[in-house]
Structure 1
Amino acid sequence: MAGNRQLSMDLLFVAGFVFITNIFILVPVLSDSFLHTYLGIIIVLFLPGYALTGALFPAKKDLDGIERAAISFGLSISIAPLLGLGLNYSSWGIREIPLLTEFSIFTLLMCAIAYYRRGLLPETEAFGVSFKRCYLSMKARILEKTESKTDKVIAVILILSILASMGSLAYIIGNPKEGEHFTEFYILGNNSKIGDYPTEFVQGEKGTVTVGIINHEYRPMDYTIDVRLENRSLPESKKQISLGNNMSWEQTVNFTPPLEGKNMKLEFLLFNETEKTIPYRNLHLWINVTEEA
């Protein structure tokens, strides 16, 4: 049992890191910490590849430590777009929480497979991590006289390249360049689909659409939605929404046309916090309202 624990120390460390990353990203108090970004980078760019490398190469003789680190980094870079592509074609889309869930499940599953495959090998042949032994081994390799100077230089350059790449990506993600400031504003018809909007009404009949807002203004915003029929406000449909940057809001909005007529303009107006009289975004439908039989 002690041997099994020794063989799985690195896998337990990876699994623990995954859980800590989930806590820092999902808990609101911790999600604003600078660690949020850097933990996310590690769970995307190193841990999946390391876990997969452990599952593919469970024996010591398969790879040495430096090769494992390099392959782990390379596999992670290959895995990330594949997992993202899978989410892109799902109903969840490429968003933070689905991505975190997918990377976490993949990494933990590969850790479990690696643990199982190591357990099938004799303890002396299975790969395991003793951090003290790793340090002494790396120190011995650096000082070893039989190892060529070229091999040492290549190993150092490889390690520095990996660290530089991760550091550069961390800086880019931690200090993103601001793009265009804008707000998405949309309406959806029946079954929350584009099209099939309600346009035919009997006077007094209630209509329903789904209204959505996505804030890309790079700051928190306060919005007001005002629904107007022929420039006449429908107070029961007015809503006030506060959204942080990159946050979205989508809800059904009910309205009851108070007027009878044909080809009347039903407007959905979005006002922001700085301009209360001129709509920031506007959408409209043409509706017909007939007299109740």
Structure 2
Amino acid sequence: MSKQSANENRAEQYLPTTVSKYFPSNIEIPGDIYAVTAYLIVANLLLLYVLPTTAVVPRALVGFPLLFFIPGYVLIAVLFPARETAVRLDGSRATSGRSGRRDRRGLAWRERLALSFGSSVALLPLVGLAISLIGLDYDGTTIVTATSFVCALGLVPAVVYRSREPPTTRFYVPVDSWIATLKNGIFKQDRRSAVVNAAIAVLVVTTVVGVGYAMVVPNNAESFTSVSLLTTNDQGELVAADYPEAINESGAELTLELESAEESTTDYTVVAELQRVDTAGTSATVTERATVTRMETQLAPGESWTRQHTVEPELSGEDLRLIYYVYEGDTPSEPSTESADEYVAIWVDVPQDSE
């Protein structure tokens, strides 16, 4: 019994009829599918666990193919399992695509590369829409994971359709042809053409690194902490308005709000001070200060926190500055606007009898 017959009998024995009808018994995983699978595994390990966000160039080089080539390549592999062939008028296949009419199931490798980039660009918005509909956080980790998952799903029909194609027309990566082209086309060309090709290659690599960095490396500008000082209006709502112009001996009720958009859980320390400030000249100099309150909290990415408190002044005078310094982690012995990660302030008057 031949190996193929044994495979067919095994498929009929263990697979349901409805399954074996669509899955060929002689499934073979092509080399390019192995390469794509290995790349997906390595890229996820590097981008999610190994490469830090500061490794700009490595993350860009790894991430660009994942976003702008692999999804389209898998889609083209599903849609076009055959290589470029031609069909003669008698219905037989020709080994070259230059005679007869074109077989619509086949593509040349150049066309596959071009369509892989274009298809990937078209698929990415759909992946982003799916992420939004599911309700996941739209960050680098989610994008990498979702894109890899979609590609992995597409590899299954790609292998099945390629295996169902006859070996004479089945697509394979023409590595031997590429090597011959390099030897005969590039290394034997004149110096002027070699310079032009080298310049084009440098331009392509630069573009790949730039776009890959923009898509894969997190944008540090998106990591920030928002701080707001709020009051309660007549409807009981917190608003960033109607601040007290003066604080008497009974104090004033204010609410501090923090909202974190950092990439990880962060510890915050808030120090509120009432300060007498000398604004003469070009800079403001703190001449006297008194601590109003000190608060600490821990926020996860996207989490917000509010704390209502009473401001009881220990200084008196006009145009005093009530300032809240926000620090990620520990605070210095003498807080300042230069050392604080964020700060918010209002100006108030404190009558003499309020000390």
Q: Give the TM-score of the pair, scaled to structure 1.
A: 0.59
Q: Is the 8 A contact 2:82 2:169 kept in 1?
A: yes
What is the CA deviation profile of residues 150-197 of structure 1, one whole-angstrom value per residue up to 9, with x for unaligned ones?
xxx9xx99xx97984453141355499x9979833158xxxxxxx977
- Structure 1 residue 134 displacement after superposition: 3.8
Q: Is the 8 A contact 1:24 1:35 kept in 2?
A: no
| 1:276 matched to 2:335 | yes
| 1:87 matched to 2:131 | yes
Q: Is the 8 A contact 2:72 2:123 kept in 1?
A: yes
% identical equivalent positions: 19
Secondary structure of the corresponding residue to residue 159 of structure 2: helix
Q: 1:56 to 1:71 in 2, by over 3 A?
A: same
Q: Is the 8 A contact 1:48 1:106 kept in 2?
A: yes
What is the aligned partner in structure 1 of residue 146 from structure 2?
Answer: 102
| 1:119 matched to 2:175 | no
What is the aligned partner in structure 1 of residue 260 from structure 2?
Answer: 213
What is the aligned partner in structure 2 of residue 170 from structure 1?
Answer: 209
Q: Is the 8 A contact 2:67 2:124 kept in 1?
A: yes
Asked which structure has the greater CA Rg, the reply is 2
Q: Which amino acid aligns with 2:335?
A: K
Secondary structure of the corresponding residue to residue 122 of structure 1: coil
What is the aligned partner in structure 2 of residue 55 from structure 1?
Answer: 78
Report how many aligned residue pairs link the two structures.
239
What is the aligned partner in structure 2 of residue 225 from structure 1?
Answer: 270
Q: Which amino acid aligns with 1:26?
A: L
Q: Is the 8 A contact 1:210 1:250 kept in 2?
A: no
Q: Is the 8 A contact 1:183 1:214 kept in 2?
A: yes
Structure 1 segment 18-97 matched on structure 2, within 5 A: 18-28=40-50, 32-33=54-55, 34-61=57-84, 62-97=106-141
Q: 1:232 to 1:254 in 2, by over 3 A?
A: farther
What is the CA deviation profile of residues 108-156 of structure 1, one whole-angstrom value per residue up to 9, with x for unaligned ones?
112222111112222222212353x34257569969xxxxxxxxx9xx9
Q: Is the 8 A contact 1:11 1:115 kept in 2?
A: yes
Q: 1:134 to 1:85 in 2, by over 3 A?
A: farther
What is the aligned partner in structure 1 of residue 39 from structure 2?
Answer: 17
- Structure 1 residue 52 displacement after superposition: 0.7
CA distance in 2, matches of 1:180, 1:209: 23
Q: Which runs of 5+ in 2 are unaligned?
A: 5-25, 85-105, 187-192, 229-235, 239-254, 274-289, 313-322, 347-355
**Larger helix fraction of residues:** 1
CA distance in 2, matches of 1:44, 1:212: 31
- Structure 1 residue 277 displacement after superposition: 3.8
Secondary structure of the corresponding residue to residue 135 of structure 2: coil
Q: 1:79 to 1:271 in 2, by over 3 A?
A: same
